[in-house]
């Protein structure tokens, strides 16, 4: 490893650990993971005892490639993004995710003060983060960290996450073409539900894995 890479990783580690400390202060369970593999292994450990595992459509979770390992353990995977599903089938899976045993999600932004900030088009993902599943694990790569307030976190989402996500999902929005948010009125606008978790929801077993690698958008 080069000295530059070593110093960059050290700097990110300091920021990740600060986020973990802030999350714990805000009542969340929080774990620092040095690598994506550590995060994946942690999810597999958390899945013990779970029969159904919901996937919130997170690129961060997809980057961890835990689905094959969960299938090997005999888990029922609730993935509304699976290919070949009809619209009603997707909605049914989204509803079932609300009461699954383990729900896996990323977060669009994580402030160093320990707030989770997300923007959804439908609200199924954030809804499952708040209440319903037996356990929730949120994955936050270091690229999701924001050294600022929740308004800065929302800007981060709209500037860096929403345009590529709209393009990934083939939505006809201005940002999917230009790469820049224009606060559009498009019928396919994906920025519709903005949520801020300042503290852990009272009755939700929610743990955040803060990973010292870039994950997702």
CATH number of 3-146+198-211: 3.40.50.10420
Q: Which residues pair with 146 in a beta bridge?
A: 111
CA distance 128 to 120: 12
200 CB neighbour count, 10 Å cutoff = 21
Return the pLDDT at 216: 98
> If you average pLDDT over residues 44-52, what whole number do you get?
98
Q: Please report the pLDDT score of residue 104 as a whole number.
A: 98
- In this structure, what token pair is assigned to residue 162? 């929403």
pLDDT of 34: 98
What's the whole-number mean pLDDT along residues 47-72? 98
216 touches 63 (CB < 8 A): yes
Per-residue model confidence as pLDDT tens digits over 84-103:
999 999 999 999 999 999 99
Q: Where are the domains of the chain?
A: 3-146+198-211
Give me the pLDDT at residue 45, please: 98
Tens digit of pLDDT for each residue in 20-39?
999 999 999 999 999 999 99
Distance of CA 75 to the CA centre of its chain: 20
Greatest extent of the chain over all pairs of C-alpha atoms, in Å: 53
d(CA 3, CA 86): 51
Q: What's the average model confidence in pLDDT over 113-119?
A: 98
pLDDT in tens, 145-186: 999 999 999 999 999 999 999 999 999 999 999 999 999 999
DSSP-assigned letters across all residues of 28-74: -EEEEESSHHHHHHHHHHHTTT-SEEEE---HHHHHHT-HHHHHHTT
Side-chain-facing half-sphere of 17: CA atoms under 13 Å: 7
Residue 108: pLDDT band with limits 50, 70, 90: very high
pLDDT at 15: 98
pTM given for the model: 0.97
Confidence at residue 1, expressed as pLDDT on a 0 to 100 scale? 83
Q: For residue 178, which phi and psi values (nearest 5 degrees)?
A: -90, -25
Q: Give 139's DSSP letter.
A: E
């Amino acid at each position: 490893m080069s000295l530059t890479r070593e110093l960059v990783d050290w700097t990110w580690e300091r920021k990740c650990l600060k986020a973990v400390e802030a999350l714990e202060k805000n009542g969340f369970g929080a774990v620092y993971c040095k690598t994506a593999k550590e995060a994946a292994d942690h999810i597999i450990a958390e899945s013990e005892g779970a029969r159904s595992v919901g996937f919130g459509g997170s690129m961060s979770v997809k980057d961890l490639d835990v689905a094959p390992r969960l299938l090997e353990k005999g888990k029922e995977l609730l993935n509304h993004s699976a290919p070949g599903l009809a619209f009603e089938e997707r909605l049914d899976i989204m509803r079932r995710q609300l009461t699954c045993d383990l729900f896996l999600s990323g977060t669009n932004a994580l402030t160093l003060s320990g707030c989770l900030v997300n923007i959804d088009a439908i609200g199924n993902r954030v809804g499952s983060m708040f209440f319903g599943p037996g356990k929730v694990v949120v994955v936050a790569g270091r690229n999701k960290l924001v050294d600022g307030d929740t308004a800065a976190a929302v800007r981060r989402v709209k500037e860096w996450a929403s345009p590529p996500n709209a393009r990934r999902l083939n939505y006809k929005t201005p940002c999917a073409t230009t790469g820049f948010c224009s606060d559009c009125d498009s019928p396919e606008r994906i920025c519709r539900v903005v949520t801020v978790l300042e503290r852990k929801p009272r009755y939700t077993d929610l743990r955040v894995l803060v990973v010292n690698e870039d994950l997702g958008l």
